[in-house]
Amino acid sequence: MTLAELKPGKLAIIEKVQIGLQVEGLANRLEAIGIIPDRQVQVLRSAWFGGPLHIRV
């Protein structure tokens, strides 16, 4: 399951972080804000049509 598929209010543990090669520096930014393997996250809100997610780490 991806983070985008997680329903608002649900908790999950991050297994891995997949980032496309074209996004330079994104891996460092995600790590800096705590989006790393074995970390618990919760989706607070999600926008329609694959828009932004509001999450708690």
Q: Which domains are assigned to the chain? A: 3-56 (2.30.30.90)
Task: State the Cα–Cα distance between residues 39 and 13, nearest whole angstrom.
Answer: 5
Q: What's the Cα-to-Cα distance from 26 to each of 9, 23, 33, 42, rounded to whole Å?
A: 25, 6, 11, 20
Name the token pair of 13: 């543990």
pLDDT at position 27: 85
Q: Is the pLDDT of residue 20 over 80?
A: no
3-state secondary structure of 53: strand
Q: Is the pLDDT of residue 21 over 80?
A: no
Q: How confident is the model at residue 41 (pLDDT cuts 50, 70, 90)?
A: very high
pLDDT at position 48: 87
